[in-house]
Amino acid sequence: MRKKSLVIAFILPLTYVGTTMAQESITTQTIEVQSDTIYPEYEVYGKKYKEKILNPTRFRDNWFFGVGVGTTISMCEFATSNDFVKRLRPAGMISIGKWISPWGGIRLQGTMSQGYSHSNPASGINDSYHWRNYTFYGDGIFNLTNLVPGFTAEFRRFQLMALVGVGATHVGDYQEKDWYGQAGVSTKGRNLFTFHAGLIASVRLSNHWCFNLEANGTILDGSYGGIEDDNKNNGLINVFAGLVYRVKNHDGSYGFTYVQRNTETIKQLNQEINRLRAEVKADTIKGKVIDLNQHTTLISFQPGKTEIDQLQEVNVYTAAQAYNKEQCDVYISPDSVIESEEQYSQRANNIKDVLMKHYSVPADRIRIITDRKEVEEVPNCVILYIVK
């Protein structure tokens, strides 16, 4: 297996460099590591990670919109007196939702369908009638494909999901019939509480599009069909076929993704650490060695990004641990010349916020500087270098 040279400086113990000024220059040290992706165990904000971790998402990520058509079957008094085929009535739906994690999400769905039933034969009337249903649901969706075998593929061609939710159905717009009163059918509009559950089979057509086949059952109270003098629950069975459009995420992905280690970034970090170590030299005044006792660590950002990558959070943790041990000032410094002052300021302040909020480092102990030379000879301090 091909191997690459990588300095001990990337994850937790690999990023912490305690530089103590000595009379001789410090030589670089490298080790041979396998080029395969490795997921070591480390701790961030008190939580231990051992395997793959998901990239952080924003509120605007993992939204979807759906539209579909299908059929509905009314399960109410005397409906079975009609032919089964006649009971299959047209239905349509639209939806909007958001995946909170690879395993679950939420959805709002609106449907319009046609109810269909039959008069009570005991009334002496033998006729069918129909009306309209307008339903609004709030659902929880659970990705069974990711829950059972686990989320292992960022792009799955087929997924099976379960849903459960509650909502409200407005029943009205009855077909005109002159026998409703005689048969005991009430045609006044009603709003009914609903509970429903079902399954969704989803086929991924592209990054944006999915084809969904959904079947769900809805429970309503006994007045659904217009006959209000019984205590039986009524219901609906809905089947929809439709398309779902998935919105592109802020990072260009179309779903949840795992953190990937960029080997080129690791190589650049390796070169930068070696350069920093090579620059550490003894500074002797009157024959006495000056011990600066600087604790340095590096933190890198994705190109054009200002948010701290989840893999880099451990470097902030390392700096916080050094502060807790030494109780000294913490400097946030550029590693080299600043190309964008605005971007550097946002990155530095994001690091400062994490140090204050998650590790209780006082604000007056954190200093953001714009030139690394300002801190090169500052004794007893913690330095976070922001690497390009």
Q: How many angstroms separate the CA atoms of 339 and 342, rounded?
A: 9
CB distance 90 to 113 below 8 Å: yes
pLDDT tens digits, residue range 141-175?
999 998 887 777 667 889 999 999 999 999 988 88
Please work out, in degrees rounded to the nearest 5, the angle formed at the alpha carbon of residue 343 by the alpha carbons of 342 and 349: 90
Q: 230 by DSSP, 3-state: which?
A: coil
Give the pTM: 0.58
DSSP 8-state secondary structure symbol assigned to residue 308: P
Domain residue extents for the chain? 3-53+259-387, 63-246
For the chain, residues with pLDDT lower than 50 are 1-42, 44-45, 282-289
Q: Which CATH class is domain 63-246?
A: mainly beta
pLDDT tens digits, residue range 88-126?
999 999 999 999 999 999 999 999 999 988 888 888 888
Q: Which residue has the tokens 């550029």?
A: 334
